[in-house]
């Protein structure tokens, strides 16, 4: 059966060039980067070259990038590390109500330790409510977490305004750029945020590798203690092959950013046109959006059964956040946008990737049209 993979916000396939680099490192560069002999220094060079590439993707200094075991760990490290360093000072954290669970659940766990944590509202278009942020910032705040682009709707958040408002009140800004990286240009200097997180497997790199960029001088306490790896910011022998794959994926993402974005936007516009022509279809989330993502609700259908029907037709899409799939909790992102419950239950996320073609879009359009019609006649 012909299969179309339209779930790239859940994860992406490894780019063949990434696989080649990782295979070579796994078989040849097996030294421990902390060892001072030739084998160790080869592995060290691999890690440091990858750090340069990842830093370059976000316009950062390599020495400010810490490798982690996932985007989730990077988000946790930022939140918990800042809180631990803040000690007795302003014990309050704000986060956008549409953040990934890596941020929301970590904040809730900090709440159990006595931190005051509060979600900041978003509007019906999926963008942070800046007036609400200003109100929330009236109380002394240590950190504000706002993602660069949402994983479910693709909506790009007003980070310039977030940084301006937060910094005016002395709060640090954590930006989860896991979904934005490789899809839109990112420059840490221009963004003005203090911490930024990335994950390799969202940009054609391997799973199980992430990164936290920390603006030089930002107070942050290490969470993992042991050897002095990552300049004492995260102990543990480095995942050298994974890091090498991340580095190659970051270089490719940078080289292909503009070509990928044009390709993805063209395909996504064609898909949007087809989907929105279906009676009772409504798009969730408004521009500015990532070029690869669209989220559409189909009146009178349950997204979970639609995902299964589409899978049988060879089309892979998602309902709600991929990272929490398996649970049928309605999407916290769409609920935060205060969409009616039926619209939330009928929402599908289509996230396109570098290797998708117009044939994938046509297959998806036909499959969705047929599956929606079938479910409505049940």
Residues marked as catalytic: 323
CA 4 to chain CA centroid, nearest Å? 22
- Closest approach of ligand PLP to the CB of residue 150, in Å: 7
Closest approach of Cβ 79 to ligand PLP, in Å?
12
List of residues contacting ligand PLP (CB under 6 A)? 70-72, 75, 100, 102, 147, 151, 176, 178-179, 199, 201, 210, 322-323
Instruction: Select 176 or 194, whichever has its Cβ closest to ligand PLP.
Output: 176
Which one, 12 or 251, has the nearer CB to ligand PLP? Answer: 12
Residue 198 CB-half CA count within 13 A: 31
* Nearer to ligand PLP (CB atom), residue 4 or residue 11: 11
Q: 356: closest CA among 263, 253, 257, 274?
A: 263
Please say whether the beta carbons of 190 and 59 come within 8 A.
Answer: yes
Do residues 304 and 328 make contact, with C-beta atoms less than 8 angstroms apart? yes
As beta bridge partners, residue 155 has 289
CA–CA gap between residue 332 and residue 334 (Å, rounded):
6
Neighbours of 378 (CB within 10 A): 7
**285 SS3 class:** coil
Residue number closest to ligand PLP, CB atom: 71
Q: Which is nearer to ligand PLP, 101 or 169 (CB)?
A: 101
92: left (phi over 0), alpha (psi -120 to 50) or beta: beta
Cβ proximity of 107 and 95 under 8 Å: yes
Which of 338, 289, 298 minimizes the C-alpha distance to 317?
Answer: 298
**C-beta of 313 vs 323, nearer to ligand PLP:** 323
**Residue for token digits 């019609």?**
373
Closer residue to ligand PLP (CB): 206 or 346: 206
Token pair recorded at residue 347: 């929402």
Q: Which two tokens stand for residue 294?
A: 């669209």
DSSP character string of 102-142: HHHHHHHHHHHTT-EEEEEPB-TTS-B-HHHHHHHTTS--S
């Amino acid at each position: 059966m012909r299969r179309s993979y339209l779930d790239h916000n859940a994860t992406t396939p490894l780019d063949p060039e990434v696989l080649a680099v990782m295979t070579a490192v796994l078989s040849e560069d097996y030294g421990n980067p902390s060892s001072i002999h030739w084998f160790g220094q080869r592995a060290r060079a691999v890690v440091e070259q990858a750090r340069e590439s990842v830093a370059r993707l976000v316009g950062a200094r390599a020495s400010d990038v810490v490798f982690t075991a996932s985007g989730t760990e990077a988000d946790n490290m930022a939140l918990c590390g800042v809180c631990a360093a803040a000690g007795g000072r302003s014990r309050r954290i704000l986060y956008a109500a549409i953040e990934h669970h890596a941020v929301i659940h970590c904040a809730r766990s900090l709440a159990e330790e006595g931190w005051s944590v509060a979600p900041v509202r978003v509007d019906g278009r999926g963008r942070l409510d800046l007036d609400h942020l200003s109100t929330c910032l009236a109380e002394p705040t240590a950190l504000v977490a706002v993602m660069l682009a949402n994983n479910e709707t693709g909506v790009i958040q007003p980070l310039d305004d977030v940084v301006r408002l937060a910094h005016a009140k002395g709060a640090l800004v954590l930006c989860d750029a896991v979904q934005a990286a490789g899809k839109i240009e990112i420059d840490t200097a221009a963004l003005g945020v203090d911490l930024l997180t990335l994950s390799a497997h969202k940009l054609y790199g391997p799973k199980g590798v992430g990164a936290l960029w920390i603006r030089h001088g930002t107070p942050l306490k290490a969470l993992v203690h042991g050897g002095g790896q990552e300049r004492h910011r995260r102990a543990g022998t480095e995942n050298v092959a994974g890091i090498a794959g991340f580095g190659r994926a970051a270089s490719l993402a940078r080289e292909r950013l503009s070509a990928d974005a044009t390709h993805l936007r063209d395909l996504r516009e064609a898909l949007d046109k087809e989907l929105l022509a279906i009676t009772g279809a409504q798009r969730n989330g408004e521009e500015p959006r990532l070029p690869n993502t669209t989220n559409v609700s189909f009146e009178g259908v349950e997204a979970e059964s639609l995902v299964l029907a589409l899978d049988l037709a060879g089309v892979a899409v998602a309902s709600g956040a991929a990272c929490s799939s398996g649970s049928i909790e309605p999407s916290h992102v769409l609920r935060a946008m205060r969409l009616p419950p039926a619209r939330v239950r009928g929402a599908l996320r289509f996230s396109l990737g570098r290797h998708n073609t117009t044939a994938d879009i046509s297959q998806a359009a036909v499959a969705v049209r047929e599956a929606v019609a079938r479910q409505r006649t049940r």
